Amino acid sequence: MVGAMIDAREVGFGSEANEQLAGLLHDAKSQDVFAPVCVIVPSNYVAVTLRRELATGNYGATSWVGSGLVGTDFLTSYRLAEAVAGHTFLAQGRQPVRGVVIGAAIRQILSDTPGIFEPIAHHGATERELVRVYRELRDLEESDLNTLASTGERSSEVVRVCSAANRLLQDKWFDEFDLFRSSDLALEKVSNFGRLVLFLPQRLANTETTFLSRLSDVSSMTALIGLTGSEEADRDSNRVADLFNTQHLSSNVTPASASTVISVSDPDDEVRTTVRAVIGLLDQGVAASQIAVLYPHRNPYARLLEEHLNDSAVSFSGVSSRTVADPMLGRFIRSLLALPDKNLNVDAVLDFLASSQIRLHVDGALSAPSVSWSQAAIAAGVSAGLEDWSERLSRHKEQLVATAAKERIRTGDDSQSSRYEKRAHEVNDLLTFVTELNQIVNPESLPTDWVELCSWLRQAIERYLGTNDQVGPHNGDFSAVEQILDQLQNLTRIEPATTFSVF
């Protein structure tokens, strides 16, 4: 519990919360439309949606002149903390930490002093779980960590690894918990944000709650705490009220309940049924902003919903199911990174060829004939390994050349024999291509540090796809990958040596 009092008000989710927020904005801007207000939101998605909703004017005027939002900021707690405390860390040369950086620090600690994690130190799941726990433990104070470490060997080892990773990072990186704990707040910047409104807070970290309380000492803050009317669902909302030293909220909201249960055969049928229901509600005049579709798992529902809603010409707001791995460049990188561990397995090589328009030669514009090469590899009976590729493709080429000669002698028709000769030439090109590919993805020749691995991938992309100015409509994907590689290169500051499997 924190000492400051924050004006907490209960609201129902949806239109009621938006109307209350519009009213608060109107009060703050009743005399001056330029009066600053900062709305602290749970996520960036909420910020974008909320700004659009309020700008429509459907929830009431937000100032004495109408529904404008001039002078109104919509920020997450993290972004607000970055704005009022980030200057201290940037002046020290520290950078915002990312998950991949935390992972690198965890791997480095496990490499140096694995402790009880030695048998599983190099397992990917170990790293992922420790990164997740690291985030949770960062919200605890030193005394809490000591108490947790005293409960048993496993807890002690987890605390040890996460604390060591934090010490490794603290001189060059900072995270949201450093910002929330910072005592060097730029009070003038806090004042410039004007009145603060905490909009529908979800689960708040302990350090986040303390930070918001300190802000309320400088600028007045109102918290709109969302309630559903269900005691179990409102547990977190009441916990937030308790943290702000506010009396327990009593809900006047009527709990929602399911009115219909529909049984269908599979996820695709679920989504089709849901989209038909959405369209039915829209036809009845229900506002799109009052319709939400909830699903238990991202895969496969996010992709199916996106496809069916787009096919039905229904505009929607939500997290896209498309990732960097989905477009052509992403497919190319995934198939390329799979090759070193597969020893030129024929299926892996054919997947690589089919992933995108692979350039036949480094200095040419022609694309590799992936279909005919796939047919040649299958006909030759290739399995895996450069020796197998060379032996079977050479034998297949000789058979095609011999067949071409027999056809010329038998029929005297050059057109039929030339087709066999063309296929023999394609087999020779395929062998040359695979030989070069083996040199690029040979595990024994791959780099062992982040900078060189990123350089290796850039060179492979340029060799097989071309430079940024040659990719046309895919330029945006190339820029995104370039940014990711720039970030990965920085991991050498934490993890000087790495392996291709980690990359």
Local confidence band at 217 (pLDDT 50, 70, 90 cut-offs): confident
User: Are 457 and 388 found together in one domain?
Assistant: yes
The boundaries of the domain holding residue 286 are 267-311
> What is the predicted pLDDT for the residue at 247?
57
User: Are 35 and 73 found together in one domain?
Assistant: yes
User: Are 99 and 77 found together in one domain?
Assistant: no
Residue 217 lies in a domain: yes
Report how far residue 468's alpha carbon sits from residue 447's, in angstroms, rounded to the nearest whole number.
23
User: Are 388 and 459 found together in one domain?
Assistant: yes
User: Are 193 and 163 found together in one domain?
Assistant: no
User: Are 78 and 111 found together in one domain?
Assistant: no
Read off the pLDDT of residues 95-140 as tens digits, 9 standing for 90 and up.
Answer: 888 888 898 899 999 988 988 988 888 888 888 999 999 999 999 9
> What is the predicted pLDDT for the residue at 434?
86
Give the pTM.
0.74
Read off the pLDDT of residues 33-55 as tens digits, 9 standing for 90 and up.
Answer: 888 899 999 988 888 888 988 88
Count up the domains in the chain and report the number.
4
Exposed/middle/buried for residue 320 (C-beta within 10 Å: 0-12, 13-18, 19+): exposed
User: Are 105 and 77 found together in one domain?
Assistant: no
Among 227, 243, 259, the domain-final residue is 243
Residue 248 lies in a domain: no
Biggest CA pair distance of the chain: 99
> What is the predicted pLDDT for the residue at 471?
54
Beta-carbon contacts of 368 under 8 Å, excluding residues fewer than 6 positions away, are 353, 358, 359, 360, 433
Among 208, 243, 278, the domain-final residue is 243
Structure-block tokens of residue 432:
């040359």
Q: Average pLDDT of the chain?
A: 84
Q: Which of 276, 340, 284, 350 is nearest to 314 (CA)?
A: 276
Angle at 344 between CA 339 and CA 349, to 5 degrees: 70
Residue 407 lies in a domain: no
User: Are 355 and 464 found together in one domain?
Assistant: yes
User: Are 201 and 271 found together in one domain?
Assistant: no
Q: Where are the beta strands (DSSP E) in 126-239?
A: 173-174, 195-199, 221-227
> What is the predicted pLDDT for the residue at 31?
85
Residue 1 lies in a domain: no
User: Are 481 and 387 found together in one domain?
Assistant: yes
Query: Is the pLDDT at 474 greater than 60, yes or no?
Result: no
User: Are 355 and 437 found together in one domain?
Assistant: yes
User: Are 140 and 48 found together in one domain?
Assistant: no
Local confidence band at 249 (pLDDT 50, 70, 90 cut-offs): low
Residue 410 lies in a domain: no
Local confidence band at 468 (pLDDT 50, 70, 90 cut-offs): low
Local confidence band at 165 (pLDDT 50, 70, 90 cut-offs): very high
Residue 260 lies in a domain: no
Query: Is the pLDDT at 323 greater than 70, yes or no?
Result: yes
Residue 486 lies in a domain: yes
Residue 318 lies in a domain: no
